[in-house]
Amino acid sequence: MRWVLAEMWRTLDRARRDRALLYGGATGLRIITFHETQGDDLTRLKQIVDWCRSRFTMASPADADTLFAGCWPHPTDRILVTFDDGWESNFEAAKWLAGIGVSATFFIVPSLIGRTVDQYVRFHARNHLVPNVPEASAGARGLSTEQLREMRAMGHRIGAHNFAHRDLGVLHALPDIRYEVENALEGLSDILRTNCNDFAIAFGQPNNVSDEAIAYLKDLQARGLRIYSCHRGLNVPGKTPSFLLRHAWEPFHPANFTRVCLEGAGDRRLNRDVRLMVRRVGRLPVANGASAAMQSGLP
């Protein structure tokens, strides 16, 4: 089905048409996110990134910072590579990316660091809590503290993911929300010996963050936290949500589907979710009093 959709979208020139329809012709930042990257998944990651390098300028985490500040000074789209969860297999991906000059952002579940799945579950059981276990292969374990520090030295950024990887969409009480967000940010800040200012919502869809969680995150955002979701779209100041959009790559996605989505041909299909998130979390700002037309929002 996705292979057929991709071919149809390309035939209909959807990427070009949807840039005008959804973003007023603007350029912006497109983000792809991966999870565990071992074996064939690492091979496919390399193929996707190599294709992106042949088609786009690769972004750095600093490009996302510029966007959060309401600026996009580039005449073309850029692609940022990110990873969620923090499984140990990401270390090989980090080394390969650094070797080709690509900087990525890795969003880490801090309670998974240096632990197997069983150890992770037992850790949270001591707090009388059942965590969600991020999907991974048998025998997987989290990245070590030393690996995270080395990855940062390679030029990558380390951000936070939900502390127990629970769905913020079903958490409404402040202690539960703080357990997931505050513990994650503080845990990584302690490990890296510097403030962690980037956070990706687990699962990342509009229904994976409650109104109470949004209020909590928006307060942190006002104090400098950069927040990422995980549904598809081009990030454009004044147009798209203040929680950055990311395209989640899945192992079962055909290569042509991934490529046309990164070109923008699949954005219209998820535009309802994008508009919902704009209503719930607000738009990316536009710096320095840009025109009202630029801030007119999504159609």
pLDDT digits (tens, 9 = 90+) for 105-124: 999 999 999 999 999 999 99
Name beta bridge partners: 30.
79
Q: Look at residue 52 and tell me if it is in a domain.
A: yes
| 42, part of any domain | yes
Question: Is 127 inside any structural domain?
Answer: no
Residue 174, in any domain of the structure: no
Question: Residue 185's pLDDT is what?
Answer: 98
Q: Which domain holds residue 277?
A: 1-11+38-69+76-81+96-103+197-207+223-242+249-286
pLDDT of residue 7: 94
pLDDT of res. 1: 86
pLDDT value of residue 291? 39
Lookup: tokens for 154: 């390679």
Q: How many Å apart are CA 222 and CA 154, to the nearest integer?
A: 29
Q: Is the pTM of the predicted complex or chain greater than 0.85?
A: yes
In a domain, 129, yes or no: no
Q: How many C-beta neighbours within 10 Å does residue 161 have?
A: 27
List helix spans (H) across 198-249. Answer: 211-222
Residue 3 included in any domain: yes
Distance CA 22, CA 43 (A): 33
Any domain includes 109: no
Domain membership of residue 162 (yes or no) is no
Residue ranges for the chain with pLDDT beneath 70: 289-299
**Joined tokens for residue 299:** 């159609």
Number of separate domains in the chain: 1
> For position 218, what pLDDT does the model report?
98
Please, what sign has the CA dihedral across residues 44, 266, 25, 243?
A: negative
